[in-house]
Structure 1
């Protein structure tokens, strides 16, 4: 009886299940993320099938706002191998789905302070493809060096603490 309640409570959790398809690690290195948005994306059937195979690249991706709508450029979703003449173009421009208030806020932020829109990740959330879009500011080279130095220092601290917890000394 205890397992039945454990199963029902696990199913009733409201946390959406996320299955990561692609991640843009270089974006977090090249940009300082100011704000993040989860948005839907308009796709063709063969694109979804290709994404279900876990094939996509966000490396050269960016988003623009044209006519009150947000579009994703430069994202590579390879053609579906079993597709026929209905296959999609790998680097086509795709429309992103956001609420009007979010789009108006993005328009204001990108125009006033020189921020850009960069896709951070592409994932399935409850069976639907979502894009994590970041409002970001480009980093200077010295900012990148500071981040790398901070990461190295944090790694050394964690390593030293781990060694100390195990009773080892340097």
Structure 2
């Protein structure tokens, strides 16, 4: 069997980019059981309630829902168990320094396979206020209208 190449996206946390201002990102490996990997290969996971926390110089992913494998037996995993993240010690130390500051948290942004190995993208995030969310939405809308107007002008319609 040929080895997998490239990146295959399993789940993405779009709401995290809306609710938080992402300042830094890291790619981390996951410690998984066999049935979790099989369930992920079937493309089933949810990052909606997920977060990461640092406990004793180790980073743990919590609240991520990987449903039980349908063909699994008594060896199946718990859907929302704590999962250890694999990171370098220097990266963990940097995360620890940043999260001790007020208002910062670690949020999973994407779950994917990279060259056959399960990875998660973790973001250092600060919560947005309601007016920040409205401002970002208005800015995106203005850019969209600007691009449409430019496209019409280039086509000679306006």
**Would the TM-score normalized by the shorter structure come out above 0.5?**
yes
How far is 1:113 from its partner? 4.0
How far is 1:164 from its partner? 1.2
| 3-state SS of paired residue (1:77) | coil
CA deviations on 1:95-116 (whole Å, 9 max, x unpaired) are: 1010000001111000024310
CA distance, structure 1, for counterparts of residue 96 and residue 88 of structure 2: 12
State the match for 1:109 in structure 2: 98
Name stretches of at least 5 consecutive residues in structure 2 with no aligned partner: none
Match of 2:59 among 58, 66, 70: 70
CA distance, structure 2, for counterparts of residue 112 and residue 157 of structure 1: 38
Higher Rg of the two aligned structures: 1
CA distance, structure 1, for counterparts of residue 108 and residue 57 of structure 2: 18
Query: Pairwise mapping of residues 1-170 of structure 1 onto structure 2 (< 5 A)?
Result: 17-169=6-158
CA distance, structure 1, for counterparts of residue 154 and residue 29 of structure 2: 45
| 3-state SS of paired residue (2:26) | strand
State the match for 1:8 in structure 2: none
**Structure with a larger share of its residues in helix:** 1
CA distance, structure 2, for counterparts of residue 161 and residue 112 of structure 1: 43
State the match for 1:4 in structure 2: none
CA distance, structure 2, for counterparts of residue 155 and residue 46 of structure 1: 43
Report the TM-score, using the length of structure 1 for normalisation: 0.89
- C-alpha RMSD over aligned residues: 0.8
Report the TM-score, using the length of structure 2 for normalisation: 0.95
CA distance, structure 1, for counterparts of residue 104 and residue 91 of structure 2: 15
CA distance, structure 2, for counterparts of residue 81 and residue 167 of structure 1: 56
CA distance, structure 1, for counterparts of residue 69 and residue 45 of structure 2: 11
How far is 1:147 from its partner? 0.3
Point out 4+ residue stretches in structure 1 off by more than 2 angstroms: none
